[in-house]
């Protein structure tokens, strides 16, 4: 299995968190190892060879070659699987506030769903799908989707500096900055920030902060850090061990000790450690 990371074009770098291509001669490993916890990023997925099955508490889906898919911001884990045949797919992960200015569709309308881009973005998706499918090689598809994201004809909305500031502040604090403190810093009410976040991010500031806090520890797992070492870093991030266990299980489906000792997906480790 190979995961190759792409540097997005300079004009798109402000919107994209990660851009990668997965190629595997034998698909994704079977079982529950391919757990993708929420990371605050909506995604654009291009299956090139083989279908990808996804399962979560919100429902099941299948991403098939010949289509482009948008995955809205998630608040629960997703398990990915495929058949054992050759598999290639391209994924763009947008920054938490990066998809809304590109597509102009309120992100709360697409949260926790997987849908073809023509359905999610009718004024852009059809042409983008055709351009990407007409490109024969994987690298040509990568170029094509970036060109489509830059097209001035798509529905485009200006990003919100206030939302961007709040997302960056929550990220820098690994989710520790209280929403009340964020409201005080910006001079806006927590309710107003929540309304903006629902539109631009697809979830509340509190929910995104919880994901950022969790991701700090999921990143340690991806780097192979033993659970015993992870436990020593909890005090500053969670009220107690029970709080950490509850949040970790909500976002992965497993208690932290079991997850860190038993779940060993090479694919997920490579993505999460980036």
Q: Could you report the per-residue pLDDT of 127-178, keeping only the tens digit for each?
A: 999 999 999 999 999 999 999 999 854 556 678 999 999 999 999 999 999 9
User: Which pLDDT value is given to residue 97?
Assistant: 97
Q: Which helix (H) or strand (E) holds 191?
A: helix 190-200
Size of the chain in residues: 274
| pLDDT above 90 (res 227) | no
The greatest distance separating any two alpha carbons of the chain, rounded to the nearest whole angstrom, comes to 54
Stronger pLDDT, 153 or 52, i.e. the higher one: 52
**Distance between terminal CA atoms of the chain?**
16
| pLDDT above 70 (res 264) | yes
Which position has the token pair 């090139």? Answer: 48
Q: What is the mean pLDDT of the chain?
A: 91
| pLDDT above 90 (res 102) | yes
C-alpha to C-alpha distance for 84 and 249, rounded to whole angstroms: 29
CB neighbourhood size of 170 (10 A): 25
Say which residues have a Cβ less than 8 Å from residue 34's Cβ, sequence separation at least 6: 28, 79, 80, 81, 265, 267, 268
Confidence of residue 236 (pLDDT cuts 50, 70, 90): confident
**pTM of the shown model:** 0.94
Strand arrangement, sheet containing 78-81: 35-36, 78-81, 52-56, 59-63
**Sign, CA torsion 105/110/114/120:** negative
**Domains (ranges, CATH) in the chain?**
2-149 (2.60.120.10), 161-272 (1.10.10.60)
C-alpha to C-alpha distance for 94 and 215, rounded to whole angstroms: 16
C-beta separation of 20 from 44 below 8 A: no
How many helices (H) and strands (E) in the chain?
12, 10
User: Which pLDDT value is given to residue 154?
Assistant: 52
Phi first, then psi, for residue 27 (nearest 5°) are 70, -165
Residue 45, classed as helix, strand or coil, is strand
Q: Which two tokens stand for residue 150?
A: 């830059």
C-alpha to C-alpha distance for 69 and 110, rounded to whole angstroms: 12
Q: What is the mean pLDDT of residues 221-230?
A: 85
Q: Which two tokens stand for residue 203?
A: 């979830």
Q: Which two tokens stand for residue 194?
A: 């929540």
Q: Which two tokens stand for residue 136?
A: 């024969």
Q: What is the mean pLDDT of residues 185-204?
A: 96
| pLDDT above 60 (res 89) | yes
- Which of 5-19, 75-89, 92-106, 143-157 has the lowest average pLDDT? 143-157
Confidence of residue 32 (pLDDT cuts 50, 70, 90): low
Say which residues have a Cβ less than 8 Å from residue 187's Cβ, sequence separation at least 6: none
| pLDDT above 50 (res 232) | yes
Q: What is the mean pLDDT of residues 232-240?
A: 80
User: Which pLDDT value is given to residue 74?
Assistant: 95
User: Which pLDDT value is given to residue 153?
Assistant: 46
User: Which pLDDT value is given to residue 114?
Assistant: 96
Confidence of residue 233 (pLDDT cuts 50, 70, 90): confident
C-beta separation of 84 from 1 below 8 A: no
Q: What is the mean pLDDT of residues 55-75?
A: 94
The fraction of the chain above a pLDDT of 70, given in percent, is 96
């Amino acid at each position: 299995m190979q995961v190759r990371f792409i540097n997005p074009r300079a004009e798109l770098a402000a919107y994209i968190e990660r851009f990668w291509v997965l190629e595997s001669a034998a698909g994704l490993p079977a079982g529950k190892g391919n757990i993708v916890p929420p990371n605050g990023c909506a995604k654009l997925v291009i299956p090139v060879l083989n279908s990808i099955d996804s399962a979560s508490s919100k429902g099941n889906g299948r991403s098939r070659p010949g289509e482009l898919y948008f995955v809205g911001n998630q608040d629960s884990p997703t398990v990915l699987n495929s058949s054992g045949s050759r598999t290639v797919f391209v994924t763009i992960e947008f920054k938490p506030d990066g998809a809304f200015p590109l597509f102009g569709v309120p992100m709360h309308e697409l949260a926790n769903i997987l849908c073809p881009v023509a359905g999610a973005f009718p004024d852009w998706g059809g042409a983008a799908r055709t351009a990407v499918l007409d490109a024969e090689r994987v690298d040509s598809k990568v170029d094509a989707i970036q060109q489509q994201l830059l097209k001035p004809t798509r529905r485009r909305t200006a990003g919100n500096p206030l939302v961007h500031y709040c997302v960056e502040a929550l990220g820098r604090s690994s989710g520790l900055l209280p929403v009340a403190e964020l409201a005080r810093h910006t001079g806006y009410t927590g309710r107003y920030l929540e309304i903006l976040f629902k539109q631009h991010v697809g979830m509340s500031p509190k929910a995104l902060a919880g994901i950022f806090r969790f991701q700090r520890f999921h990143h340690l797992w991806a780097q192979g850090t033993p659970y015993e070492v992870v436990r020593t870093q909890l005090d500053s991030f969670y009220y107690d061990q029970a709080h950490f266990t509850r949040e970790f299980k909500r976002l992965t489906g497993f208690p932290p000790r079991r997850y860190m000792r038993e779940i060993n997906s090479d694919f997920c480790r490579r993505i999460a450690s980036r």
